[in-house]
Amino acid sequence: MKPAEAARPTKATRTTRAAKKAAGTTPTTAAPRRQARGERRIAQLLEAAAGVFCKSGYAAASTNSIAREAGVSPGTLYQFFPNKEAIAVELGGRLLQRAHEMHGQAFLPENLDRPLPELLDAVLDPLVEFQCENPAFWALMHGSGVPGVALEQEHEELHTGMLARVEGVLARFRPGATPAELDLVANMVLGIFKSSMDLILASEGDQRAAYKAELKAVLLRYLEPMVTTTPPTR
């Protein structure tokens, strides 16, 4: 066979290329489309996992229940995730990223210059809204156990960062407080918030709004006697 003939496409190859071109799936476009389909499938599985984790908790959830919730076969699920922990780690990582972004929005510098009642509104509203819109975050991070060492570390970093933000706010209202005092009060504030979120997430409608209002009232009554100054105007 001559070299030119060896490089010539076979009839089968020409037929395959023609079929792909007719279907709009040339080699240069097929990969991105497959990737987009894969991303949609992953999003579908993560949404289903979020629902299952909220209903049954992480420990009781299974890949079969997640597949059923997503409306796919277990085999399809295993094409993207090897086990339940991998699903939870991916979902938790995405939710933690959103949580970091939300914390930045809640603790904007302009919010910290407000009087205490307005400050509580500005900080707590986005925090509570995030938890209500992403109940799977609470189910994963505050359930029977955080899946995956990396996810546990990221959650601990988020908690530590939140604690530091609260201490920073308190320091503006109590400039003479010691680090130990700020740490004590900040941990109490976070403890009150977490306990209240259990009630808020377990309710809906007017009852949820009432619990949210009570959370603000409790924190105001707890913090107001400690306030020795108003935050300086920038």
For position 23, what pLDDT does the model report? Answer: 40
Hey, what long-range contacts does 151-156 have (CB within 8 A, 24 or more apart)? 151/88, 151/89, 151/92, 151/93, 151/96, 154/92, 154/93, 154/96, 155/92, 155/96
For position 228, what pLDDT does the model report? Answer: 67
For position 182, what pLDDT does the model report? Answer: 96
For position 226, what pLDDT does the model report? Answer: 87
For position 233, what pLDDT does the model report? Answer: 52
Cα 122 from Cα 116, distance rounded (Å): 10
On whether the CB atoms of residues 106 and 96 are closer than 8 A, the answer is no
Q: Distances from the Cα of 200 to the Cαs of 20, 95, 133, 196, in angstroms? A: 53, 19, 12, 6
| Secondary structure string (H, E, C) spanning the chain | CCHHHHHCCCHHHHHHHHHHHHCCCCHHHHHHHHHHHHHHHHHHHHHHHHHHHHHHCCCCCCHHHHHHHHCCCHHHHHCCCCCHHHHHHHHHHHHHHHHHHHHHHHCCHHHHCCCHHHHHHHHHHHHHHHHHHCHHHHHHHCCCCCCCHHHHHHHHHHHHHHHHHHHHHHHHHCCCCCHHHHHHHHHHHHHHHHHHHHHHHCCCHHHHHHHHHHHHHHHHHHHHHHCCCCCCCC
For position 198, what pLDDT does the model report? Answer: 92
Tens digits of pLDDT across the chain (234 residues): 444 444 444 444 443 443 344 344 455 556 677 788 889 999 999 999 999 999 988 889 999 999 999 999 999 999 999 999 999 999 999 999 999 999 988 999 888 889 999 999 999 999 999 999 999 998 888 866 667 777 888 889 999 999 999 999 999 888 889 999 999 999 999 999 999 999 999 999 999 999 999 999 999 999 999 886 655 555
Whole-prediction pTM value?
0.76
